[in-house]
Amino acid sequence: MTTETRAFQAEVQQVLNLVIHSLYSNKEIFLRELVSNASDALDKLRFEALQAPELLAGDPELAIEIEFDDTARTLTIRDNGIGMSHDEVVENIGTIARSGTRRFLDALSGDARKDAQLIGQFGVGFYSAFIVAGDVEMRTRRAGADANEGVYWRSEGKGEYAVDRIEYPRRGTEIVLHLKDEESEFLSAWRLRALIHKYSEHIAFPIRMRGEKEEVAEEGAEQTATPGAMETVNQAAALWARPKSELTDDDYQGFFKHLAHSDGEAVSWSHNKVEGNQSYTSLLYLPSKAPFDLYGSGRDERHGLKLYIKRVFIMDAAEQLLPAYLRFVRGVIDSDDLPLNVSRELLQDNKLTQQIRSAIIKRVLDMLDKLAQDQPEKFANFWREFGQVFKEGLTEDYAHRERISKLLRFASTKSEGAEQSVSLADYLGRLRPNQTAIYYITAESHLAARNSPHLEAFRAKDVEVLLASDRIDEWALSYLHEFDGKPFVSVAKGDIDLSNIPDGEGVSAPPSAELPEGLAERLKAVLGDRVKAVRGSARLRDSAAVLVVDQHELSLHTQRLLKQAGQAAGGGAPTLELNPTHALTARLAGETDEARFGQWATLVFEQAVLSEGGQLEDPSGFVRRLNDLLFGA
């Protein structure tokens, strides 16, 4: 067959350009990625060999080999795993169409363009070879295929690659990197062994390198140097299967970096062997930093734990073992009881899976409880990274809602800045005399929440209000009706009665909520169906007006989010509450010119919309009215 020359898919070419020209912050990760890919190939072969043992014929010992040639300036990574066919090579390397490639490109912006560790998190680790190599060759053969079905692939990463069919006597894949002139450090046995220990120590297969060259001399002949035998340079054992007493923090952190394809560290971990009705081992990690695909489309992507059954790798992201709100957890489950031919569909309905899932949820919540109690600074960092995802648990996990609620953190009118550091237990410890509810407000941003006119009466009473500005907050809080017997009440909904709570120090008595006679009716006549009603406000102290929805309706903020998402917002028109003591109210009440009254009424309504973070339907009309009234005053 004549060698084919093909062009890389456009997105693959973009990845290659970034790799070759931008990702220089941590070149050495190329070895981690290629070894990880080789390990995956061995895992896949071992799994397929459960149904087809003949795939292992003639070469049953699975391993990874690394060799270098300082004269030819080549570095070779070789495995005897599942290998690839001609079509698989073209599909997996030349024309990758996975969504991960697109997200990888989107994530690499600004300083992130120099962050080489990201490449492994998006399934495009093979291309890291071009960080250090100007030319990459690959030979591969699918397990079970004939020797004449081998495939040869080669590229300089410049837009094209060559592919051909070759005779290849062994199954698996061999990648040869022709290193760039400035990358001589990777032609050192000491350097390569150090990188294996750093990144791949806990790969569950032997990683072998040749030992030191041996001096050999036959009688009457000069001594000659021959390469040493292959030696295993990693633990080559499943870390989770080893006794905890043998493992150090560095061991656990090293394995986490392998799992997460990251140089970041885990903030906490839990390693347990369960025996009884069923036996399994779990090793769970809480990362210190969120991956780029955690939010947005990340919820729809597969996240979960690596599943092994009797040390045999089964699947990479067993999402059935964890609920979506814990999708940030990384780790391994190794079961002795699940069937080896288990599929994602069977996992969904398997009773053993449900038992493991329930135990894992409790284990993760225990880890978070301990972190919050013993290391509050680390928990605060966890909350900054994963709080929005964790709050989804209020909507998904009724059984653990109480435990989840104890771990929630909020900003509040008594916290500093936007820091979400107030727990519900903290809040209850600061209740004012006669306060019977937990008050909160949702808004587009922290500043919009903190400066909302809805808070004026609460500040006067020195009542703390939780400031919820994450997009998920109102949805999540709608599932949390109470905490420790105290109901949740939105300060922007319904009637608020704070009369039983004493005023704060130096605060005068609240104003009357009565509007001048006939004013409410005049305003409703002008504003029409833009408002449900007009009434005096007991909430306001400084602002002129505010919009309020009924107790069981979605907030105006959430209605706007739904509209932006193209969904029906529902809910009726808001009620306009007017501050009876404000100068604008007096101006409205005293205005006899109906045309000018209409301008003032509309202006007050639009001010209330803006103070809610809303958008005006006619911004230019607002500006015109404002100028007319200013100059006509």
Is the pLDDT at 341 greater than 70? The verdict is no
Write down the pLDDT at residue 138: 95
Same-domain check for residues 67 and 183: yes
CATH of the domain at 633: 1.20.120.790
CB atoms within 10 A of CB 617: 10
pLDDT over threshold 80, residue 359: yes
Specify the pLDDT at position 237.
79
- Sheet of 330-335: strand order equals 266-274, 280-287, 330-335, 305-309, 312-318
6 or 243, greater pLDDT: 243
Q: Are residues 106 and 201 in the same domain?
A: yes
Q: Report yes or no on 401 lying in a domain.
A: no
Average the pLDDT over 574-591 and give the result: 91
Q: What average pLDDT score do residues 425-444 get?
A: 94
pLDDT at residue 263 tops 70: yes
Averaged pLDDT for residues 596-611: 91
pLDDT of residue 105: 53
Q: Which residues, in sequence order, are bridge partners of residue 483?
A: 486
Reported as type and span, the H/E element at residue 417 is none
The model's confidence at residue 545, banded by pLDDT at 50, 70 and 90, is: very high
pLDDT tier at 370 (50, 70, 90 boundaries)? Answer: very high
Report whether pLDDT(212) > 50.
yes
Q: At residue 182, what is the residue type?
A: E
How is residue 187 written in tokens? 């032609």
Distance CA 395, CA 397 (A): 6
In a domain, 395, yes or no: no
Q: Are residues 506 and 541 in the same domain?
A: no
Query: Stretch 245-253: mean pLDDT, rounded?
Result: 92
What 8-state DSSP symbol labels residue 170?
S
The pLDDT mean for the chain works out to 85
Least confident of 134-143, 300-309, 330-339, 549-558: 300-309
Band of residue 25 on the pLDDT scale cut at 50, 70, 90: low
276: left (phi over 0), alpha (psi -120 to 50) or beta: left
In the predicted structure, residue 113 carries a pLDDT above the cut 50: no
Please tell me the distance from the alpha carbon of residue 391 to that of residue 472, in angstroms, as a whole number. Answer: 8
What integer pLDDT is reported at residue 62 of this predicted model?
94
Q: How confident is the model at residue 510 (pLDDT cuts 50, 70, 90)?
A: low
Tell me if 430 is assigned to some domain: yes
Mean pLDDT of 241-262: 88
* 499 and 543 share one domain: no
Predicted local distance difference test score (pLDDT) of residue 329: 94
Considering only CA atoms, which of 125, 151, 154 is closest in space to residue 137? 154
Instruction: Please report the pLDDT score of residue 333 as a whole number.
Output: 92
Give pLDDT, residue 97.
40
301 with 160, same domain?
A: no
Strand ranges of the sheet holding 545-548, from the earlier edge strand across to the other edge? 533-536, 575-578, 545-548
Residue with tokens 């591969």: 140
What is the reported pLDDT for 298? Answer: 46
Burial label, 520 (beta-carbon count in 10 A; 0-12, 13-18, 19+): middle
Q: Which residue has the higher pLDDT, 111 or 535?
A: 535
Quick check: 219 pLDDT over 50?
yes
Taking residues 144-159, report their average pLDDT: 92
Q: Which CATH number does the domain housing residue 134 bear?
A: 3.30.565.10
CATH of the domain at 485: 3.40.50.11260
Q: Using the 3D structure, point to which of 486, 510, 534 is the last residue of a domain.
A: 510
Residues 37 and 176 placed together within one structural domain of the fold = yes
- At residue 115, the pLDDT reads 47
**203: which residues sit within 8 A by CB, 6+ positions away?**
35, 36, 39, 64, 234, 236, 258
Rounded-to-integer distance, Cα 576 and Cα 134, Å: 68
* Domain of residue 369, CATH code: 3.30.230.80
In angstroms, the CA 381 to CA 538 distance is 39
- Residue 456 located in a structural domain: yes
Pair 175, 308 in one domain: no
116-125, 140-149, 394-403, 524-533, range with the lowest pLDDT = 116-125
425 half-sphere exposure, CB direction, 13 A CA radius: 9
Q: 456-489, pLDDT tens digit by residue?
A: 999 999 999 999 998 889 889 989 999 999 999 9
Residue 553 near residue 493 (C-beta atoms within 8 A): yes
CB distance 64 to 159 below 8 Å: no
Specify the higher pLDDT residue, 507 or 260. Answer: 260
What is the phi-psi region of residue 58: left when phi exceeds 0, alpha when psi lies from -120 to 50, beta otherwise?
left
Global pTM reads 0.74
The least confident of 22-31, 42-51, 421-430 is 22-31
Alpha helices in 486-593 (DSSP H): 519-527, 556-564, 583-590
Rounded CA gap, 158 and 20, in Å?
A: 9
State which of 510, 529, 563 marks the end of a domain: 510
Would you say residue 68 has pLDDT above 80?
yes
518 CB-side CA count, 13 A? 5
Query: What pLDDT score does 218 carry?
Result: 60
The band of 192, judged by pLDDT with boundaries at 50, 70 and 90, is: very high
The span from the CA of 307 to the CA of 47, in Å, is 12
- Return phi, psi of residue 336, to 5°: -95, -10
- Is the pLDDT reported for residue 592 higher than 60? yes
**pLDDT band, residue 438 (cuts 50/70/90):** very high
Spatial neighbors of 595 by CB under 8 A, at least 6 apart, are none
Question: By the 8 A CB rule, do 477 and 555 touch?
Answer: no
Q: How far from chain centre, in Å, is Cα 184?
A: 37
Q: Are residues 467 and 527 in the same domain?
A: no
Instruction: Verify that 505 and 528 share a domain, yes or no.
Output: no
Spatial neighbors of 407 by CB under 8 A, at least 6 apart, are: 365, 368, 369, 372, 390, 423
Cβ–Cβ under 8 Å, residues 577 and 536: yes
Look at residue 319 in the predicted model and tell me its pLDDT: 80
The tokens for 274 are 């369960």
pLDDT band at 302 (very low <50, low <70, confident <90, very high): low
**Structure tokens that stand for 401 in this block:** 């809602």
Question: What is the reported pLDDT for 507?
Answer: 63
Percent with pLDDT over 70 in the chain:
86
Over residues 123-152, the mean pLDDT reads 90
Q: SS3 for 153?
A: strand
Has residue 114 got a pLDDT over 80? no
- Claim to verify: residue 23 and residue 172 sit in the same structural domain: yes
User: 215 falls in which pLDDT band (50, 70, 90)?
Assistant: low
Within a domain: 394: no
Q: What mean pLDDT do residues 348-355 have?
A: 84
User: 571 lies in which domain range?
Assistant: 511-633
Contact 479, 395 (CB under 8 A): yes
Nearest partner of 83 among 4, 174, 206, 194, judged by Cα? 174
pLDDT of 296 > 90? The answer is no
Angle at 531 between CA 525 and CA 532, to 5 degrees: 95
Contacts 24+ apart (CB under 8 A), 9-14: 9/94, 9/95, 9/96, 9/97, 11/96, 11/97, 11/101, 11/102, 11/105, 12/94, 12/95, 12/96, 12/101, 12/127, 13/159, 14/105
Bridge partners of residue 137, in order along the sequence: 154, 176
**285, 259 Cβ separation under 8 angstroms:** yes
Please report the pLDDT score of residue 107 as a whole number: 57
CA dihedral 528, 533, 534, 539 (to 10 degrees): -140
How many domains does the chain divide into?
A: 4
DSSP summary character for residue 218: -
Indicate if the pLDDT at residue 220 is higher than 70.
no
pLDDT higher than 90, residue 150:
yes
> Within 13 Å of residue 47, how many CA atoms lie on the same side as its CB?
19
Task: Evaluate whether residue 622 is within a structural domain.
Answer: yes
| Helix segments in 147-282, DSSP class H | 189-199, 249-260
**Domain final residue, candidates 385, 417, 441:** 385
Query: Could you tell me if residue 221 is inside a domain?
Result: no
* 280 shares a domain with 194: no
As a whole number of angstroms, the distance between CA 155 and CA 540 comes to 70
Residue at 323 is within a domain: yes
The answer to whether residues 515 and 628 belong to one domain is yes
pLDDT grade, residue 106 (50/70/90)? low
Q: Is the pLDDT of residue 316 over 50?
A: yes
Mean pLDDT within 370-384: 95
The answer to whether residue 412 scores a pLDDT higher than 70 is yes
When pLDDT is averaged across residues 309-319 and rounded to a whole number, the result is 77
